[in-house]
Amino acid sequence: SKTYNIAVIPGDGIGKEVTPWAQKALEKAAEGVADFTYEHFDLGAERYLRDGAILPDDELERIKTTDAILLGAIGDPRIKAGILERGLLLKLRFSLDQYVNLRPSKLYQGVTSPLANPGDIDFVVVREGTEGLYCGAGGAVRRDTPAEVATEVSINTAYGVERVVRYAFELAMKRRRHITLVHKKNVLINAGDMWQRIVDKVGQEYPEVTCDYSHIDAATIYLVSDPSRFDVILTDNLFGDILTDEAGAVVGGVGYSASGCINASNEYPSMFEPIHGSAPDIAGQNKANPTAAILSAAMLLEHLGFDEAAQRIHKAVEADIAELGSTVRSTDEVGRDILARM
Amino acid sequence: SKTYNIAVIPGDGIGKEVTPWAQKALEKAAEGVADFTYEHFDLGAERYLRDGAILPDDELERIKTTDAILLGAIGDPRIKAGILERGLLLKLRFSLDQYVNLRPSKLYQGVTSPLANPGDIDFVVVREGTEGLYCGAGGAVRRDTPAEVATEVSINTAYGVERVVRYAFELAMKRRRHITLVHKKNVLINAGDMWQRIVDKVGQEYPEVTCDYSHIDAATIYLVSDPSRFDVILTDNLFGDILTDEAGAVVGGVGYSASGCINASNEYPSMFEPIHGSAPDIAGQNKANPTAAILSAAMLLEHLGFDEAAQRIHKAVEADIAELGSTVRSTDEVGRDILARM
Ligand SMILES: CC(C)[C@H](C(=O)O)[C@@H](O)C(=O)O
Ligand SMILES: CC(C)[C@H](C(=O)O)[C@@H](O)C(=O)O
């Protein structure tokens, strides 16, 4: 049977503390089912400060040959905002054409939501991952003068939108068959109109799926006032970034939220990461919750087709949270507790 | 003493039901203090459907001669998204150079927040109102083909940013002296970097004001997990739109949230409006809460320098909510109840 080669990129801050637990959970869940080898990549702030490298071409080429990627978190306060995020994290997402950024949100039993009446929260955000305002198009003239002008350009293509729309409809068919398109089409009329037209067109092939639409501003209200209305939220790169962080808060903290950056045509490896950041304020203190990272290992397993192995992780995480979700534990304690249940 | 001429634009849907109450509250609060005359403008969906006019030049010119504007809400499901929003609402904001979009959020005593532990919420969002992704720059090629490309361009100028930054610092000096800049400078590096540099520069003139920074995604988390951390939130046009709707939800519904679109250099009239939309689902049913519209009349009075008259409205609204906030009442009942307390 095939051996899967996994690229491991712990990255920065708490990424270094939670990623080893994601790897251990992956290994344990797949025992007797799949064989993994791991290739570690020393990428992130330390590396950049040491030798100036962010994502060298030869390392990107090696990553491209792997079967999947486990990523921790990227970002460090010592380094100007954008350098690592764009040079490493977004460069991976774009170079590997990870056009589906899949972000499930679920309120686990045992977790306290900040909402007084959260209801039954269980939805998935399908965020486009390779277009929009994340392209890096834009610039500035007369920088640092009173006449400075800075632009950011959102580029959206029918090619890029249609493929992620199709993914969302396929996903909806496996769930409660409801899609909410989120955009701001009353202001961003060019991009918003294209998104809506493509959803309408593809939707004709899926008569069982009901679709509605919400402006991004209204969607942030619904996440607080009525989050259980959502099944599949389909949106662009920036709105997806915003909504999934708010969703993370609503389900009791981004510590439980995993994500997949998926190349659904499998030309390049997909990447799995917690949605939380590097959290410099608590880094190195054995405090970060590794649950989101461990859940990202489950998403990796699902992506490779090992649904039962993924279920082992999901079940262990659910049981752990139900029993000990409100107990203060260290990173290693949570990791050990979850592994012990698998 | 001077007579102030107020343009009244009820607009669409519930805008038509709540704006008369804003006008009545304005009139009553200013009794013995200031004289108002009113000029009504028939603008919005009905007008557009009747004669195709959105905001004719001569009407815009008449609006420019007024002292302030009371606006209800714009938007109608019968009309393609964007036509009225951009042709009327945004055209007013841009033509009248209303560069400060001021949006206070306060959790009133007697209102139930959807948050389990909301804490003491009292902050103001200072949203830039004339730049960013709202410029209408952008377009599409090969529309409706598989090769379509649609763009949206965010234009940001040092001129436009510095004036709203200065406004935020002046406002912070009258409040708790804390500003949180919200942007996404790890991705939108051109615009984000400019905003941060200008905040840093202007901040040197205000050593008493502490400043911090939050990415937009993290800010949506804080609004749910710890909203009392905020005093003045300073942000761009799109992020301000998103954050103020979420903030409205967190303080118990956008029914309590008013806003001012302010030309702080007073070359053109400023405009006051509830932040809620036209709510077609409940329009014409005497159900909409007029409190936000009434509070926008208070903001108008403050803007014209009638602080005591504004306080009359604030006190009446506070007392009304404290006593009857959780009672189901019609638009007219709430309006009458508030006016009776003034
Ligand atoms: C770190 C940042 C560039 C990234 C994003 O904006 O996509 C993060 O917020 C995320 O959601 O994965
Ligand atoms: C109607 C729409 C164009 C408007 C905006 O996006 O500014 C509204 O959402 C608001 O917040 O005033």
CATH 3.40.718.10-classified regions of chain A: 1-105+254-342, 113-251
Q: Compare all CA atoms of chain B with the CA of A217 and give the residue at the minimum distance.
A: B242
pLDDT value, residue B1: 72
> Any known ligand binding at A5?
no
Q: Which among B150, B185, B189 is the nearest to A190, CB-wise?
A: B150
pLDDT value, residue B171: 98
Considering A48, A108, A134, A213, which one is annotated as catalytic? A134
Whether ligand 2 lies within 6 angstroms of the CB of B236 is answered as no
- Classify B126 as helix, strand or coil: strand
Whether ligand 2 lies within 6 angstroms of the CB of B89 is answered as yes
Give me the residues of chain A with pLDDT under 50, please.
none
Could you tell me the end-to-end alpha-carbon distance of chain B, in angstroms, rounded to an integer?
23
Q: Which residues of B touch A256 (CB under 8 A)?
A: none
Residues whose CB is less than 8 angstroms from the CB of residue A8 and which lie 6 or more positions away in sequence, other chains included: A19, A23, A38, A39, A40, A41, A69, A70
Q: Which among A150, A155, A194 is the nearest to B194, CB-wise?
A: A150
A236 is catalytic: no
Residues whose CB is less than 8 angstroms from the CB of residue B96 and which lie 6 or more positions away in sequence, other chains included: B63, B64, B261, B263, B268, B269, B270, B271
> Any known ligand binding at A204?
no
C-beta neighbour count of A88 within 10 angstroms = 26
Inter-CA distances, B49 with A134, B46, B74, B82, Å: 38, 5, 14, 15
pLDDT digit string, tens, across residues A175-231: 999 999 999 999 999 999 999 999 999 999 999 999 999 999 999 999 999 999 999
Among residues A61, A100, A71, A76, which one has the least CA distance to residue A8? Answer: A71
- Give the minimum alpha-carbon distance from B277 to chain A in angstroms, rounded to a whole number: 10
Question: Does A141 lie at the interface with B, CB-CB under 8 angstroms?
Answer: no
Residues counted in chain A: 342
Query: What's the B276 CA to ligand 1 centre distance in angstroms?
Result: 29
pTM of the model: 0.97
Ligand 1, atom 11, lies closest to the CA of: A241
Could you tell me the end-to-end alpha-carbon distance of chain A, in angstroms, rounded to an integer?
23
Question: Does A79 lie at the interface with B, CB-CB under 8 angstroms?
Answer: no
- Token pair recorded at residue B70: 């009371």
Best of A182, A185, A217 for a ligand 2 pocket test (most atoms within 8 Å of beta carbon): A217
pLDDT value, residue B274: 97
Among residues B153, B134, B163, B157, which one has the least CA distance to residue B238? Answer: B134
Backbone phi, psi, residue B35, to 5°: -105, 135
Best of B43, B84, B89, B261 for a ligand 2 pocket test (most atoms within 8 Å of beta carbon): B89
Q: Which residues of B touch A212 (CB under 8 A)?
A: none
* Calpha distance B81→A188 (Å, rounded): 10
Among residues B291, B298, B299, which one has the least CA distance to residue B330? Answer: B291
Question: Does B241 lie at the interface with A, CB-CB under 8 angstroms?
Answer: yes
Are B186 and A250 within 8 A, CB to CB?
A: no
Q: What angle do CA A140, A143, A149 make, to 5 degrees?
A: 45
DSSP B176: T
- Contact call for residues A269 and A69 (beta carbons, < 8 A): yes
A24 is catalytic: no
C-beta neighbour count of B336 within 10 angstroms = 15
Residue A274's DSSP bridge partners are: A258
- Would strands B258-262 and B232-235 be described as parallel, antiparallel, or unpaired? unpaired
* B113-122+130-251 under CATH 3.40.718.10, yes or no: yes
User: What is the DSSP track for A91-158?
Assistant: HHHHHTT--EEEEEEE--TTPPPSBSS----EEEEEEE-SSBGGG--EEEESTTSTT-EEEEEEEEEH
Q: Which helix (H) or strand (E) holds A262?
A: strand A258-262
Query: What's the B128 CA to ligand 2 centre distance in angstroms?
Result: 12
* Calpha distance A321→A334 (Å, rounded): 10
Whether ligand 2 lies within 6 angstroms of the CB of B125 is answered as no
Are A144 and B192 within 8 A, CB to CB?
A: no
Residues 261-280 of chain B whose Cβ lies under 8 A from any Cβ of chain A: 277
* A1-105+254-342 under CATH 3.40.718.10, yes or no: yes
Residue B155's DSSP bridge partners are: A151, B132
User: What is the DSSP track for B280-335?
Assistant: TTTTTTT-S--HHHHHHHHHHHHHTT-HHHHHHHHHHHHHHHHHHTTS---HHHHH
* Calpha distance B2→A28 (Å, rounded): 80
Backbone phi, psi, residue B272, to 5°: -125, 130
pLDDT value, residue A1: 73
From the candidates B103, B242, B326, which should be mutated to test the interface with A, based on the most A CB atoms within 10 A? B242
- Give the minimum alpha-carbon distance from B244 to chain A in angstroms, rounded to a whole number: 8
A48 is catalytic: no
Question: Does B19 lie at the interface with A, CB-CB under 8 angstroms?
Answer: no
Q: How many Cα atoms within 13 Å fall on the side-chain side of residue B14?
A: 25
Closest ligand 2 atom to B85 CA: 3
Question: Does A81 lie at the interface with B, CB-CB under 8 angstroms?
Answer: yes
- Classify B111 as helix, strand or coil: coil
> Any known ligand binding at A217?
yes
**Helices and strands counted in chain B (H then E):** 12, 12
* Calpha distance B240→B127 (Å, rounded): 5
Among residues A128, A124, A127, A52, which one has the least CA distance to residue A88? Answer: A52
Whether ligand 2 lies within 6 angstroms of the CB of A81 is answered as no
Burial of residue A137, with CB atoms counted within 10 A of its CB: 0-12 exposed, 13-18 middle, 19 or more buried = middle
Are B191 and A138 within 8 A, CB to CB?
A: yes
Q: Which helix (H) or strand (E) holds B267?
A: none
Crossing angle of helices A331-340/A15-29, nearest 10°? 10
pLDDT value, residue B326: 86
Residues counted in chain B: 342
Question: Does B121 lie at the interface with A, CB-CB under 8 angstroms?
Answer: no
pLDDT value, residue A281: 94
- Would strands A178-183 and A210-215 be described as parallel, antiparallel, or unpaired? parallel
Q: Which residues of B touch A158 (CB under 8 A)?
A: 142, 145-149
Please list the pLDDT of chain B residue by residue as tens digits (342 residues).
789 999 999 999 999 999 999 999 999 999 999 999 999 999 999 999 999 999 999 999 999 999 999 999 999 999 999 999 999 999 999 999 999 999 999 999 999 999 999 999 999 999 999 999 999 999 999 999 999 999 999 999 999 999 999 999 999 999 999 999 999 999 999 999 999 999 999 999 999 999 999 999 999 999 999 999 999 999 999 999 999 999 999 999 889 999 999 999 999 999 999 999 999 999 999 999 999 999 999 999 999 999 999 999 999 999 999 999 889 999 999 999 999 999
- Contact call for residues A223 and A243 (beta carbons, < 8 A): yes
A184 is catalytic: yes
Q: Compare all CA atoms of chain A with the CA of B187 and give the residue at the minimum distance.
A: A82
Contacts made by residues A86-89, CB under 8 angstroms, sequence distance 24+: A86/A136, A86/B186, A86/B187, A86/B189, A87/A54, A87/A55, A88/A11, A88/A43, A88/A44, A88/A54, A88/A55
* B1-111+253-342 under CATH 1.10.150.530, yes or no: no
Whether ligand 2 lies within 6 angstroms of the CB of B85 is answered as yes
Residues whose CB is less than 8 angstroms from the CB of residue A305 and which lie 6 or more positions away in sequence, other chains included: none
C-beta neighbour count of B322 within 10 angstroms = 12
Best of A182, A185, A186, A239 for a ligand 2 pocket test (most atoms within 8 Å of beta carbon): A186
Among residues B222, B267, B232, B238, which one has the least CA distance to residue B103? Answer: B232
Closest ligand 2 atom to B74 CA: 1
B241 is catalytic: yes
- Classify A279 as helix, strand or coil: coil
Q: Which CATH number describes the domain made up of A113-251?
A: 3.40.718.10
